[in-house]
Amino acid sequence: MLDDKARTPASGASPDEVERMMRNLCAYALSEPDPLRRYLDLTHQQQVFEGVAAALLRERGGALADMAELGVPLDRIVQGAKLTTPQQVRTLVKAAGRTLPRARKQAPKKAAAKSASAARALPVTTDDRGSRMLTAAERKALGLPALKPIKAIPRQRVSTR
């Protein structure tokens, strides 16, 4: 069962969405005339969906851990993921079996300037998927190395003899 703290409050599904999904995915079980068979089929479907929900929770936590490993500050992760507290990020990351990287020790002025520039460099995404790659300027603002171009693998000549 999912912990309420790990749910994203701003993205709750409407009762209408839940009803449509249930009709789409459980139509066969819902139309079963035998009540006992219908109960058993629906119980099985519920167990499958709980497994899917747990897997989604782990994947969400993994995505948050990936953001932290890229150097995105925790407060920006909270904001971008539409969560309300850093503890929610930690809970999701823990559910994924991962840990957040420890903050680097820096002089106070440099750390404040770096986190401020990183916060400006990472706007909150608004597209449906919410995923994007960091730009070169954003990577530089975060102090991350520039991406190196992928070298082409040389083709081997095939003998025609």
Per the CB < 8 A criterion, the answer to whether 38 and 46 are in contact is no
Encode pLDDT of 95-131 as tens digits.
999 999 886 555 555 555 555 555 554 444 444 455 5
Structure confidence at residue 13 (pLDDT) = 86
Burial (CB < 10 A; 0-12, 13-18, 19+), residue 77, is: buried
Encode pLDDT of 32-58 as tens digits.
999 999 999 999 999 999 999 999 999
**For the chain, domain boundaries:** 12-124+135-141
Per the CB < 8 A criterion, the answer to whether 8 and 82 are in contact is yes
Query: Mean pLDDT of all residues in the chain?
Result: 76
**Which residues, including other chains, have CB under 8 Å from residue 156's CB and lie 6 or more apart?**
none
